Structure 1
Amino acid sequence: MNTIRKIRKYFLATLLFIVLLVGCGYSQDSSQALPSSNNQESVQAVASTSGTVIPFDSNKWEFNAKTSTIQEFLGKKSLLLEEGTATIKNANFTDGIIEYDIVLPNGPGFLGTMFRMEDHKNFEELYIRSTRSGLPDAVQYNPIHNDVLSWQLFSSRQEPFTATAKFNVGEWTHVKIAVLGKNAEIYVQEMEKPALFVDLKREVKPGDIGLIAIQDSAPGYFANFSYTTTKPTLKGSPKETPAVTPGTVKSWLVSNTFSEKLLDGKYLLSNQEQKQLTWKKLPSYPSGVTNLAIVAEPTPEKDTVFAKVTIVSDKEQFKTLDFGFCNRVKVYLNGQKIYGGNDDFFSRDYRFMGTLGYFDQVYLPLKKGKNEVWLAVSSGFPTNGWGLQAKIDDLTGISFEK
């Protein structure tokens, strides 16, 4: 009996010791698991880096669209967006990653992302064309200046800012955009390799971010929107800046805006008319492409500017000027009209896009000394690009005045 009591006491003592030992260990583990205030900051930082989903019913969003309704769609709480924008207010986004899911419509849809938004007239934009899956222009980079689209300027061989991407309309497709400095890359469904790597054309500045369904676009559904402001590692790499082709016009003097109608029937520009204009210098990109919207904002009433360059010739001679324009042009040499052209969107047939390129020529009868070449470039509405480029391959006996 005494032996049994001793065994019970020993067993209880041992059990108590084990309980105390485990309790101490648990207490130590728990104290390590519960974060201090510093650890809480660390946890929040990790959450931000991983891209916290921002629900569309959050007060962070601002909607400006024909349709912007929150609803369940294909198993996800989503935003139906039609002809307009959804913007994250005060995002202060310069570099980082933007991600979301999208259902592209079975119709002509132009849906995508805005970032580094200065306002609703000035921002970077990347979008997807819903009817172009697997084709070279499925994805488009489209920098916006002064509320002017620019895809006509950036669809050419000189500025190849379109790319192939494969997706299924009517199904959820994942999209990721990584932005760092002057570069960005967009991933569509395939997350290992970017569909498009671009050299961004706007100035690097922080701004808002958001989603867009471009005007006249079929609506789309968005879900699981998130972003980070941590500098990402880009998988692509910028191409070496190509050397400027000799003879390319590297900069233009651009006038204030005026109505294209003022030039109707006008074959000579008077000195008085020329003196009434004010001018800004606008550099071209290395390709020669020049985006007029950087320095001017067209309106239906004032849709035209002059872009001028001075050629110095050592004698009387003819030179061939190769050029391109968006969307309409009148060319004047030393105040006299020598050419007119129209490359409006669909102006020739339903397939004509009006993209910029060296598709036109004019023969310049130069006098000895200074010669002023003026191009009156009209934007057209809706404006899908407003710009020009020009070059003279044979520079014998001439130079461009700087």
Structure 2
Amino acid sequence: MKYLLALLALIFSLAPATAAPAELAEAQKKIPMKASAWELNGNKAAFITHLGVPTLHINDGGQDATGSNIITIKDLAFANGTIEYDAALADNTRFTSIHFRRKDAANSEHLYLRANAVDDPNVNSAVQYAAVLNGVNIWDLSNEYQSNATLRADGWNHIKIVVRDGQLLAYINDMTRPALYVPMMDGDWTSGSVGFDGNVYLANITVTPDATPGLAAGKGIDPVHNDARYLRNWQVTTPLDLPRGTEPTALPDEGTAWSAISAERLGMVNLSRKFGATPRGARRMVWLKTTITAKEALQRQLDFGFSDEVYVYLNGKPLYVDKNLFGTPGMKTPRGRCSIENSRISLPLSAGENELLIGLTNFFFGWGIVARLDDGGGLLY
């Protein structure tokens, strides 16, 4: 996160002036707290007075994930601009989210607060950006896109998000310093609706199109852009069912079909984007492979992140088997997210071509890997 904030300072320095305050005030839209202004999408909502102001109350019943009760603002297409609102937490709030540029029920940009961060101002998971791609909330592929914030259990929390092209700034209560900067959002579309979910009281919602203070045009800078050690180019099979409690019994053979897939931001190979959600209760598996060519036999270390389970082979020989299952005693640092911090394994490379083959399962949220050599010298990949 410190690296991202350093990048943010650069972005601020490059950002052009925004429209004059009078022009922005004229464009700003205040969203009424009445049913006629909202699409409830089959969910319950109450329009009440809370803490002295007109309020919208929604309640997800304490769900263990976001997205179960999304309501959206009618007749609003949002691309770039600023959204501000006040949010008061309920006694049993777990999460509260804003969905923006929501293309459809399966795809949206998505920022949420974790209520368990109240009174814990330095826990690095109070606020998180995680796109919803093809029906998958990829929060566990987005560890670098979360941060700390000071959340209030009582009274209003003021939230402001600023969106421009591929970038996001999120302010939580402190409007002088962003709590979170996202240089490269994961959505590959540019506009959509705005919605909210969770168990929360919402008030004073405003949308100001094209007001993007602090952000220059385009995407930001990938923090690992200059790092040639990442393994970015892979081949992948189509997913196959692998029932829970079973293990793969055969490796790919000459008849296996492969397609190319490349790493995205932060070196992440995002299989959720390519293959969508694994059906509830199911478990799927793919094989990925890449070739590392060495001038001579040598030993390298591979920093390796994955979600959910992996079976690693080098030149046809088993090398590493492991699990990274959130909420279990064996989950990897940081707390079961797919991260370059998950593990380090040794690669005994032979002179010439070496095939690195990885079996990867999925049954829980995001599906992906990230892999980085300790040294790319003397290697082609």
TM class by smaller structure: 0.7 to 0.9
Aligned-partner Cα distance in 2 for 1:74–1:336:
64
Look up the match of 2:236: 254
SS at match of 1:295: helix
> Does the 8 Å contact 2:340/2:371 carry over to 1?
no
Aligned-partner Cα distance in 2 for 1:265–1:349:
18
Look up the match of 2:158: 174
Larger radius of gyration: 1
The yes-or-no answer on 1:71 pairing with 2:48 is: yes
The amino acid of 1:152's aligned partner reads D
Look up the match of 1:35: none
> Does the 8 Å contact 1:251/1:281 carry over to 2?
yes
TM-score, L = length of structure 2: 0.79
SS at match of 1:357: coil
> Judging changes above 3 Å, is the alpha-carbon distance between structure 1 residues 258 and 95 closer, same or farther for their aligned structure 2 residues?
same
Q: Which runs of 5+ in 1 are unaligned?
A: 1-44, 214-218
The CA RMSD measured in Å over matched residues stands at 3.0
Aligned-partner Cα distance in 1 for 2:209–2:48:
28
2:136 to 131, 148, 154: 148
> Does the 8 Å contact 1:185/1:236 carry over to 2?
no
**1:227-306 equivalences in 2 (<5 Å):** 227-234=207-214, 241-261=223-243, 264-266=246-248, 268-271=250-253, 275-285=255-265, 287-300=266-279, 301=282, 303-306=284-287
SS at match of 2:138: coil
- 1:283 shift after superposition: 2.6
> Judging changes above 3 Å, is the alpha-carbon distance between structure 1 residues 247 and 79 closer, same or farther for their aligned structure 2 residues?
same
Greater mean alpha carbon deviation, residues 79-88 or residues 226-235 = 226-235
**1:187-226 equivalences in 2 (<5 Å):** 187-199=171-183, 200-213=185-198, 219-226=199-206
The amino acid of 1:309's aligned partner reads T
- 1:373 shift after superposition: 1.4
Aligned-partner Cα distance in 1 for 2:258–2:225:
31
**1:101-116 equivalences in 2 (<5 Å):** 101-107=86-92, 109-116=94-101
Aligned-partner Cα distance in 1 for 2:74–2:238:
33
Aligned-partner Cα distance in 1 for 2:194–2:301:
45
Look up the match of 1:310: 291
> Does the 8 Å contact 1:270/1:335 carry over to 2?
no
Aligned-partner Cα distance in 2 for 1:165–1:262:
38
Look up the match of 1:320: 301
Aligned-partner Cα distance in 1 for 2:247–2:165:
47
Look up the match of 2:27: 49
Aligned-partner Cα distance in 2 for 1:101–1:202:
25
> Does the 8 Å contact 1:358/1:389 carry over to 2?
no
> Does the 8 Å contact 1:107/1:131 carry over to 2?
no
Look up the match of 1:33: none
- 1:311 shift after superposition: 1.2
1:190-221, CA deviations, whole angstroms, 9 ceiling, x for partnerless residues?
Answer: 223322222123235111111122xxxxx111
The yes-or-no answer on 1:359 pairing with 2:342 is: yes
Aligned-partner Cα distance in 2 for 1:242–1:91:
36
Q: Which runs of 5+ in 2 are unaligned?
A: 1-22, 61-67
- 1:46 shift after superposition: 6.7
> Does the 8 Å contact 2:285/2:362 carry over to 1?
yes
1:326-367, CA deviations, whole angstroms, 9 ceiling, x for partnerless residues?
Answer: 221111234443321111001217997202233323333444
1:316-335, CA deviations, whole angstroms, 9 ceiling, x for partnerless residues?
Answer: 44433221112211112344
- 1:243 shift after superposition: 4.1
> Does the 8 Å contact 2:86/2:204 carry over to 1?
yes
> Judging changes above 3 Å, is the alpha-carbon distance between structure 1 residues 108 and 211 closer, same or farther for their aligned structure 2 residues?
closer
> Judging changes above 3 Å, is the alpha-carbon distance between structure 1 residues 327 and 90 closer, same or farther for their aligned structure 2 residues?
farther
Look up the match of 2:6: none
Look up the match of 1:389: 370
The amino acid of 2:134's aligned partner reads N
Aligned-partner Cα distance in 2 for 1:259–1:240:
34
The sequence identity of aligned pairs, in percent, is 27
> Does the 8 Å contact 1:298/1:304 carry over to 2?
no
SS at match of 1:247: coil
> Judging changes above 3 Å, is the alpha-carbon distance between structure 1 residues 298 and 332 closer, same or farther for their aligned structure 2 residues?
farther
The amino acid of 1:137's aligned partner reads S
Look up the match of 1:339: 320
The amino acid of 1:148's aligned partner reads V
1:283-327, CA deviations, whole angstroms, 9 ceiling, x for partnerless residues?
Answer: 332x32332212121313353222321112334444332211122
> Judging changes above 3 Å, is the alpha-carbon distance between structure 1 residues 270 and 139 closer, same or farther for their aligned structure 2 residues?
closer
Aligned-partner Cα distance in 2 for 1:63–1:228:
24
How many residue pairs end up in the alignment?
342
1:67-104, CA deviations, whole angstroms, 9 ceiling, x for partnerless residues?
Answer: 43333333233222224201124522110111221111
The amino acid of 1:138's aligned partner reads A
TM-score, L = length of structure 1: 0.75
SS at match of 1:293: helix
> Judging changes above 3 Å, is the alpha-carbon distance between structure 1 residues 362 and 241 closer, same or farther for their aligned structure 2 residues?
closer
The amino acid of 1:292's aligned partner reads L
